[in-house]
Structures are given as structure tokens and as C-alpha cells.
Structure 1
Amino acid sequence: MSLTRRCSRTACGRPAVHTLTYVYADQTAVLGPLATYAEPHAYDLCDLHAERLSAPRGWDVLRLAADPAAAGPTTDDLLALADAVREAARPAPVTVTRPAAETGREVARKGHLRMLTTD
């Protein structure tokens, strides 16, 4: 008994041949050949739904053509995709800036707020 993956679209029973992933940081939808393994944040699509795919307004759709000579994704492809996902998930660095030299003196404080006078 062979277990083929089906299209992720509701009520579609066609076999999946493409995988759709999103790179939220770049506002890009990436549609490529069927991934080797089903991933929780990727969507498997049949030819019909892959052809009709549209992205939200302001987003780009990157359609990766399947290499007919390749039997599946290469190790380089999988590593590049994993690196892109890790980069997109990495939080932006937080920079703490110190205020310029304060003028005046502190006359009141409430929590982290201070009231200064400009004598």
C-alpha cells in the first residue's frame, strides 16, 4: 500500500506535486517541487491549486521550477531552505540607546519616569 501525500486544499483529493512555504520576513510565498517530507508549516498542493496560487497584496510569489534530472531536493537545497527558515525566525537584535547628556536636575520620580527641570 503506497501512501501518497494529498493536496492540502480542503475537499481536494488530488495527489500533491508542489510544496508551498511562506517567508514572512520577506513577504514572499515560495512554491517549489514537492518536499521530501511533510512539514507542519508547509502546504502540499496539486498542479491545479499550484497554478491558481495567489499571494496576499504586497507579497511576491517565487515559483521554483523542478529540475527534471533531479529525483528530489538535493542536500544543498534542503540546507538553503533550512537556513532561510532559521533566518526568518530569528528575532531582530535589540539595541539600547542611552540618552544624550541630561540637562537639568531630577525633581520627581514615579517608577521608571523622571521629571527634570531646566534650570
Structure 2
Amino acid sequence: MSPVRICSRTACKASAVFTLTYVYRDSTAVLGPLAAYVEPHCYDLCAEHADRLTAPMGWELLRLPAEEASDQPTSDDLEALADAVREAARPVSPGTEPVGQGTEVGRRGHLRVLRSDQQS
């Protein structure tokens, strides 16, 4: 179980339920459901501070709908997991693999640029 994240507002000890992100290029503040993990330039907010949040002057505040909090996987989650397992277990057809040898045409540090030789 992951530790409970608290509100980023000074002196607030309430549990965070929303994450605030600023998109500077678009002058937009985005308030959405609590992010899966902590980001350096995002702010976790409790419900009270999220409700009172306003955007800076000239900015737009975009409020994304909050998802239902549930520790149990949904049927969509389980279905997606089953599909991923089926896909990973599927044998690879010989025709789907790349054909030909790559020819090195450049190098920078540990990176190499390869050109595929076309085979007809």
C-alpha cells in the first residue's frame, strides 16, 4: 500500500485527492484526479483547496472530472490486462520481423544510425 499523500498547501494536513498542473505555453491550470505518482512540478491538493482554487489572471482553469476512488480493479482494467497477456503470448509470425541487415551510416557517442537494406 502506498503512503497517503497530503495537500501541498502550507500547513494543510488533509489527504490529497486532486493534482494541479500548469501548462505555461497555453496559460492553463489543469486540475484533475490525483496523479499515480508524484511529479516535481505538480501540486497535490485536498478537496477543500481544490474547490477554492482559482487560476491566475488571464489564465484558464480546466477541471477534469474526478474518477471514482477504488482500490479494486474494474472490469475494463481486467479486460485490458487479459488482452495484453494474450498479445504477449501470441507467437510471432516470420513475416512480421524486419527483413535485411542494417547498415551503420552514422554514430554519435553510444548511439548509432542504421539504414535498413531493402530486400525485394
TM-score range, shorter chain: 0.5 to 0.7
Structure possessing the higher radius of gyration over alpha carbons? 1
Distance 1:53 1:69, change over 3 A: closer
* Alignment-derived partner of residue 51 in structure 2: 51
- Indicate the RMSD between aligned Cα atoms, in angstroms: 2.2
Secondary structure, in 3 states, of the residue corresponding to 2:58?
coil
Distance 1:69 1:12, change over 3 A: closer
Offset of residue 3 of structure 1: 1.7
* Alignment-derived partner of residue 7 in structure 2: 7
Distance 1:42 1:69, change over 3 A: closer
List per-residue Cα deviations over 1:52-81 (Å, max 9, x = no partner): 001111100000002338769xxxxxxxxx
Distance 1:69 1:16, change over 3 A: closer
The answer to whether the aligner puts 1:29 opposite 2:29 as a matched pair is yes
Whole-Å separation in 2 of the counterparts to 1:69 and 1:53: 21
Q: 1:1-119, aligned counterparts within 5 Å?
A: 3-68=3-68
Whole-Å separation in 1 of the counterparts to 2:69 and 2:32: 15
One-letter amino acid matched to 1:28? T
TM-score normalised to the size of structure 2?
0.55
Distance 1:26 1:37, change over 3 A: same
Q: Provide structure 1 residue ranges, at least 5 long, that are not aligned to the other structure.
A: 73-119
